Amino acid sequence: MYENENIENALFELECELDKAKTYFVNELALIKAGRANPKILDKISVEYYDTMTPINQIAGIAVPEARMIVISPWDKTMIKPIIKAILNSDIGINPTDDGKVIRLVFPQLTEERRREIVKSTKKLLEEAKITGRNARRDAMEVFKKLKKDGEISEDLLPVLEKDVQKQLDSFNEYVDACFDQKEKEIMQV
The 10s digit of each residue's pLDDT in 35-65 is 677 788 888 889 988 888 999 989 999 999 9
C-alpha dist (Å) from residue 5 to 1, 14, 63, 156: 10, 14, 50, 18
Per-residue confidence (pLDDT) for residue 109, from 0 to 100: 81
Q: What is the distance between the alpha carbons of residues 186 and 190, in angstroms, rounded to a whole number?
A: 9
pLDDT > 70: percent of the chain: 98
pLDDT in tens, 160-190: 999 999 999 999 999 999 999 999 998 888 6
Per-residue confidence (pLDDT) for residue 178, from 0 to 100: 96
Per-residue confidence (pLDDT) for residue 61, from 0 to 100: 93
Domains of the chain, each with CATH number or no CATH: 5-31+111-188 (1.10.132.20), 39-106 (3.30.1360.40)
C-alpha dist (Å) from residue 96 to 9, 22, 65, 89: 50, 32, 15, 11
The whole-model pTM stands at 0.71
Per-residue confidence (pLDDT) for residue 152, from 0 to 100: 86
pLDDT band at 1 (very low <50, low <70, confident <90, very high): low
Per-residue confidence (pLDDT) for residue 112, from 0 to 100: 87
> Is residue 124's pLDDT more than 70?
yes
What are the respective helix, strand and coil percentages of the chain, to the nearest 5? Answer: 60, 15, 25
pLDDT in tens, 133-146: 999 999 999 999 99
> Is residue 2's pLDDT more than 90?
no
Average pLDDT over the chain reads 89
Higher-confidence position of 176 and 90: 176
What is the CB neighbour count within 10 angstroms for residue 6? 15
